[in-house]
Amino acid sequence: MIERYNPFLHEFPAEMSKEFQLFLIIAQSFFQPFSLLDNLLVIMTALTAGHGVGFNRAMLFLADGQKLKGEFWLGPASPEDAESIWRVLSTPGIGYAEIIEHNRSLLNGGADTLTQRVKQLVYPLYQEHPLVPALAISSRELLLIKDAWNEPLLDPRLLEMIHTDEFLCIPLLSGQEVLGEIILDNAITRAPIKSRDVELASICGLIAGNYIYTSRLQKRIIDMKKVAAMGEMAMFVTHQLRNPLVTIGGFADQLLDPKTGPKKRKRNLQIIRSEIRRLEKTLLQLTQFLRVDVREKSTIDIREMLNLVLEAVRPRLDSQKLTLDMEIEAGLRAVLCDPIHTGEAVRNVVDNAIDAVENGGKIYVRAYRESSDWAVVAVEDTGPGIPESVKNKIFESFVSTKEKGMGLGLAYVKRVMDACGGRIEIKSTEGRGTTFKLYFRAEPRK
């Protein structure tokens, strides 16, 4: 027997302990497409919301280069403010999602005076005699400050701002790296901070530190990939631009030579013009490739789209005396994708098929329903097929089997399909042809 459980709980059973709820909320938030600050907001909310650890207020500092900077401060600004906030938050039916949303709107709304205040606090990360809050970072310890007004190791600006005699500083660390700090207090309720609260807050600090570290690592990897891709692209573009430019420059130099006769002049001008057109085409392809940015998917009728593609490639088919068989399943539902790029992407695949059979062969385009969620457009050719060595990287940019190919066509198709939540698959046997299958998400039944 197999019992199944959804790892994402939307409602917590009443008997679930507050500690367990706290960790579930934090763990689940990491699966959301939230930004780093949004996820930190979830942790801070969990630390301050009634059912969480239950601190009144939470202040976040993040390390930025050699400085520790105040980011935001969550919680009520005064006892009156607390009363109204907590009344709203304890309304029946209000869950964590609503509380997080409430906190987010507080931070983004501009009326959040606590955050405005904490943003003024900036400390050097490394100094000889650090005061709290920097002290928690240099000592790499949790500091529970009691009788704050008589503590000489406190920064007076922080004390003036926080205005309470007991608070907890949690350094956010990962390995040797300093990432930030959270300061928690109970300035409104004046409830003492117990050792159990310190323990729970300490675990939250470890999770937050680890999360910041992973997010920054992820960003670094993305940046590195971008730089690598840009390098690859720059190299390719250099090649694509340099050859026509050298040709244009060389033949233009000949034009400047008075010995060049009228016949050669005319020929040179024709060459220059054709190379300029080639440059324009290269730029157009690059722009098209870089512009894929699908924000909103629309409903597209596959039959209509395929007919437009067929119309566009018809002159090529006719001039090369090629036949293209098209078969569209009756009653095929509309698909969800980008209206501008999708037709262009399908046309790219059909154009490739035409290139593949230029020395004779057939092209088949079929559209059918694969399952209730997916519709497929399959483009098959009986051309020479794609070598095994190229097949694995055929969707990478600047990979081409064609002598003069830019290697952007299929990379563009893949970007469009990915952006629309679809996918593209290839099946090819050398000497026997190639089939590309484009999977589109079918429009949900109404």
Partner 1 sequence: MKKKVLIVEDEKNLCLLYKEELTEAGYKVTAVMDADAALKQMRTRRFDLIITDIRMPKKNGIELITQIMALRKDIPIIINTAYQSYKHDFMTWAADAYIVKSSSLDDLKAKIKELIG
In angstroms, the CA 406 to CA 232 distance is 13
- In terms of Cβ atoms closer than 10 Å to its own Cβ (0-12, 13-18, 19+), residue 52 is buried
DSSP track, 384-410: S---HHHHTTTTSTT--SSTT--S-HH
- Note whether 247 binds partner 1 by CB under 8 A: yes
Which of positions 362-421 make contact with partner 1 (CB under 8 A)?
403
In angstroms, the CA 9 to CA 240 distance is 53
Least separation in angstroms between CB 387 and partner 1: 12
Least separation in angstroms between CB 414 and partner 1: 24
In angstroms, the CA 10 to CA 27 distance is 13
Least separation in angstroms between CB 246 and partner 1: 5
- Note whether 238 binds partner 1 by CB under 8 A: yes
- Note whether 250 binds partner 1 by CB under 8 A: yes
Least separation in angstroms between CB 346 and partner 1: 27
Provide the residue count of the chain: 446
Least separation in angstroms between CB 235 and partner 1: 6
- Note whether 251 binds partner 1 by CB under 8 A: yes
- Note whether 235 binds partner 1 by CB under 8 A: yes
Which of positions 264-323 make contact with partner 1 (CB under 8 A)?
271, 274-275
Q: Of 219-227, 239-247, 295-303, 429-437, which segment contacts partner 1 by CB under 8 A?
A: 239-247
Residue 107 CB neighbours (<10 A): 19
User: In whole angstroms, how far apart are CA 275 and each of 271, 278, 400?
Assistant: 6, 5, 21
Please identify which residue in 252, 255, 283, 308 interacts with partner 1, judged by CB under 8 A: 252
Least separation in angstroms between CB 136 and partner 1: 49
- Note whether 239 binds partner 1 by CB under 8 A: yes
- Note whether 242 binds partner 1 by CB under 8 A: yes
User: Which letter, b or e, does each residue of 185-202 get, where b requires 16 or more Cβ atoms within 10 Å of its Cβ?
Assistant: bbbbeeeebeeebeebbe
* Interaction site with partner 1 (CB under 8 A): 235, 238-239, 242-243, 245-254, 271, 274-275, 403
